[in-house]
Structure formats: structure tokens, C-alpha cells
Amino acid sequence: MVIRNVLGEIIDRVEGVWHLEHADLRSRQWSHANLSGLSLDGANCERINLFGARLVRASFVRANLRTAEISFSDATGANFCDANLEGCLMYRSEITLARFDGAVVSESSDIPGMRLVKA
């Protein structure tokens, strides 16, 4: 599968897969990638760099986004339900209509409008 940035330029290839569901995408450098409308459900995206990426209506259900960098991205309508967002950085990202039901966050997570409250 070919990954392109928002300008349409090829930035990476994921060999041997036709889709990104359940794929091992650890530490990929996909800043400014256009993943809009794609499903990364169940994918291992630990430490992935999606800085400034376009993630409109992308799905990350049950994905591992631990320590992922998603700052300054457009995740409008994206689905992060049941995802591991421990240490995930979404600083200044657009998350209007995004879903986070059941997502796991930590004190080091930076998700707009979400704060971990200690009991």
C-alpha cells in the first residue's frame, strides 16, 4: 500500500498489505500523510509520527497509538474508540465530531478537551 502526503507525494510504502487494519506500523514517519477515510482498526501505531496529517473520518478503533505524535492534524470525525492513547500527543489538532468512547489515556496524553482526573 502506498502512503501519500497531503500534496499527493509518495512518502512510504507498506509492503505486503492491501489495507492497514491490524498492520504493524510502529515508528512510521508519516508526517503530513493523508489517511482520510482509511481504516487502521487494530493497527499497532505505537510511536507513529502523524504530525500535521489529514485523518478526516479515519478509523483507529482498538488501535495502539501509544506515544504517537498527532499534533496539528485534522482528525475531524475520526474514530478512536477503544484505542490506546497513552502518551499520545494531539496538541492543536482538530477533533470536531471525533469519537473517543472507551479510549485509554494517561497523564502524558495531550488530547484537546480531554483531561485525566485522578480519583
CATH number of the domain to which 105 belongs: 2.160.20
Position 39 scores a pLDDT of: 98
Please provide the average confidence, as pLDDT, over all residues in the chain: 95
What pLDDT band is residue 119 in, cutting at 50, 70 and 90? Answer: low
DSSP letter assigned to residue 40? -
Q: What angle is formed at CA 27 by the lines to CA 8 and CA 107, rounded to 5 degrees? A: 110
Note the pLDDT tens digit of each residue in 58-103: 999 999 999 999 999 999 999 999 999 999 999 999 999 999 999 9
Domain that holds residue 94: 1-73+82-113
Rounded to whole angstroms, the Cα distance separating 76 from 73 reads: 9
Task: Name the 3-class secondary structure at 28.
Answer: coil
pLDDT above 90: residue 113: no
Positive or negative, the CA dihedral 34, 39, 43, 46 is positive
> Structurally, how many domains does the chain consist of?
1
Q: What are phi and psi of 44, to 5 degrees?
A: -95, 100
pLDDT above 70: residue 55: yes
